[in-house]
Structure 1
Amino acid sequence: MSLIAGTVFYTDTETNNTYFLVTDEVPQPNFYTVKMHRHNDETALGAILNGFKNELALNLDNLRLGELAGWHMKSDADLIALYTFEVVNPAIFDHERLSMLGMHFANAKDLNSLLTTVDMNGVGRLD
């Protein structure tokens, strides 16, 4: 079993602020995580998409898959794969329902300690 993390983000075009879907955990929010069971032939991407669809009831047609190459989160255990999804239409999210599930969209400016857990060493660079 492995943990897989995922987040959904969008940029408000009026304020140019970016918001990430995170948990309501205290003292610091976290990215949404699911367990991937390799013995059930699950893939990391499939596990996070199933979580988004079945647990959070997100409309997958409203998401665009972000960077696949090498995003990981540093954790106390192993590195956790991190998938990012860009929102096509932020207006259709039911923020009240997400709140009842312990999730909310937080301004990236308020997530410095969380965003610094993202390990970009495996991400390809254009020189």
Structure 2
Amino acid sequence: MSEIKRFAISRRASGVVVSGDHFETSGIVAAPGASRGIAEQTHSVLLQLEDLLRQAGAAKKNLIRIQIWLADMKDFDAMNHVYDEWIGNVDQPARACVGSRLAHESYLIEIQATGAL
């Protein structure tokens, strides 16, 4: 059995878990105090994702799959504008984006990622 490493541990979850050459994040929402706008929340979530990737010893190129939940699909284009700038020219991970009621009404976006080291 491969060793399991957990990073950014909170009372309920680890921010990212590494098992062998695979990693998976928890769902990431905007940091407290982030603006209520979708662009700002998307930026906040992606910065947190970058930090979790670093903790796991990974980078954007290691991403296999990104799952995005939007509280309102009308924010799809604005979210994509920020996401496209962030992801850049790396090999694109698989991605899904769905509309969903999120855990708190202030959350406009949640992102979860998996990847290989």
Does TM, normalized by the shorter one, top 0.5?
no
Which one has a larger percent helix, Structure 1 or Structure 2? Answer: 2
- Please indicate the TM-score interval, normalised by the length of the shorter structure: 0.3 to 0.5
Query: If the length of structure 1 is used for normalisation, what is the TM-score?
Result: 0.35
Using structure 2 for the length normalisation, give the TM-score.
0.37
